[in-house]
């Protein structure tokens, strides 16, 4: 069964460093998302991406965040200068044209 793939599963970084989280969405999906979940809290929407551009972003998704779909298969989230409060599980998700959203297994980001 097709699935959304995320790498790495764990990422440890120092505050102020740049990180790139990688995702390979399901191949025929058209809409791509990043969500995050701080330990013990809600799953929060960060950004949606369609037709090679951001379609919506949340207040969390400030200038430190960016997304790219560089080659038609990968979908990346970059955090330019990480903060302690960026520590969370980051989920990539994708969907075809209906509303059913499928999540990857997540990247646990720890900022020290």
Partner 1 sequence: QKEVEQNSGPLSVPEGAIASLNCTYSDRGSQSFFWYRQYSGKSPELIMFIYSNGDKEDGRFTAQLNKASQYVSLLIRDSQPSDSATYLCAVHSGGYNKLIFGAGTRLAVHP
Q: Which tokens sit at 99? A: 């509303």
Choose one: 21-29, 38-46, 61-69, 75-83; the region binding partner 1 (CB under 8 A).
38-46
Buried-state track 51-72, b at ≥16 Cβ within 10 A, e below 16: eeeeeebeebbeeebebebeee
Q: What is the largest CA-CA distance in the chain?
A: 39
Q: Which of 25, 26, 104, 111 binds partner 1 (CB under 8 A)?
A: 104
Distances (CA, A) of 27 to 2, 4, 22, 31, 83: 8, 9, 15, 11, 32
- CB of residue 43 to partner 1, shortest distance in Å: 4
Q: How do strand 43-50 and strand 53-57 relate by DSSP bridges?
A: antiparallel
x/- binding map, residues 45-84, to partner 1, per CB under 8 A? x--x------xx----------------------------
Q: Which of 11, 22, 65, 102 binds partner 1 (CB under 8 A)?
A: 102
- CB of residue 81 to partner 1, shortest distance in Å: 25
Q: Which of 32, 61, 75, 91 binds partner 1 (CB under 8 A)?
A: 91
Q: Which residues bind partner 1 (CB under 8 A)?
A: 31, 33, 41-45, 48, 55-56, 91, 99-106
């Amino acid at each position: 069964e097709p699935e959304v793939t995320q790498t790495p599963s764990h990422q440890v970084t120092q505050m102020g460093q740049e990180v790139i989280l990688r995702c390979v969405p399901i191949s025929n999906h058209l809409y791509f998302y990043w969500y995050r979940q701080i330990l013990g809290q809600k799953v929060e929407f960060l950004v949606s991406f369609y037709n090679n551009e951001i379609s919506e972003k949340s207040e969390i998704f400030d200038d430190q965040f960016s997304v790219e779909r560089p080659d038609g298969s990968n979908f990346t989230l970059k955090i330019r200068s990480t903060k302690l409060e960026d520590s969370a599980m980051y989920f990539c998700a994708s969907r075809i044209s209906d509303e059913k959203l499928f999540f990857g297994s997540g990247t646990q980001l720890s900022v020290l």
